[in-house]
Amino acid sequence: MIQRDIVYKPENGEMGLGDWFLPEGEPPKGGFPMVLCIHGGGWSGLSRPATEGVSLQYQRAGFAVFNIEYRLAGHQGVWPQLLEDCLDAARFMLASDLPVRHDRLGVFGGSAGGHLALMTGLTLSREQVSHIVCLSGVANLPPYQNASPRTFVTLFGHEPSPEELASAEPIRLLRKDCPPILCTQWLRDNVVPVECCYNFVAAARKLGAPVSEYIYDDDREVLWVGPKQVSHNIWIPDLEPHFLHPDLEGIIMGFAKLHP
């Protein structure tokens, strides 16, 4: 069952909506485990249809998913308003009257949404978060800033200071007792440098935080985007909505089921 255009933040208008994806059948004792789904788009583009496919994949795996809009940089918001929206969506989920778990949730995001997933999951209290999945995400800012500096001017609304950048750095929020985290990335990703993943995972392991990684490079067909031919290599080509490649689906859903 899908419930569309659910208002989680009325003051945001259309950017305060989300879609619930509820599994079929009777919920388990205690309710369906939940996942907050955050789309990417460089913090300034795309919308929840971009993560409709992965929401359906989570739904099939037995999770109740809330796939959200949030204020986009350069349009409706600047940092940290995007994070505030994601946190408000998580709190809305925890207070839901649906047959879901009301004590904790997982957080999923891809690309810039992966950054927001890390920031959201690591900002909420440990007891409220079951797991975090960062799919080809901006898990560490400097490598992505070097590759796309103007993106950060849009994100902050001006050239950010070192202090402002630090406020958006996921590594800063890592702690030994943080929720289990999965980071996945294509070795040849030409949108988000793979060093973002490497640096975050190394920092987490240095602290003893529970982190897993899945770095892949194979000859499967790649969904290239735009005239510049960019890709995270995460989606199966020629499918709408976009669905994760089978290996990624297996890794992510397996991880989520280990930490419902």
Q: Is the pLDDT of residue 213 over 90?
A: yes
- pLDDT, averaged across the chain: 96
Q: What is the pLDDT of residue 136?
A: 98
Q: Percentage of residues in the chain with pLDDT exceeding 90?
A: 95
Nearest to 232 by CA among 131, 118, 149, 109: 109
pLDDT at 228 over 90: no
How far is the C-alpha of 209 from the C-alpha of 70, rounded, in Å?
A: 29
What mean pLDDT is predicted for residues 178-197? 97
Name the pTM for this structure.
Answer: 0.97
Give the model's confidence band at 147: pLDDT under 50 very low, under 70 low, under 90 confident, else very high. confident
* pLDDT of 27 above 90: yes
What domains lie within the chain, and their CATH numbers? 2-258 (3.40.50.1820)
Res. 58 pLDDT band, cuts 50 70 90? very high
Sheet order of strands, 211-216 included: 2-7, 17-21, 64-68, 34-38, 105-110, 129-135, 181-186, 211-216
250 CB-near residues (< 8 Å, 6+ apart):
none
- Looking at residue 87, its pLDDT comes to 98
pLDDT for 220: 87
Place of tokens 């007891």: 127
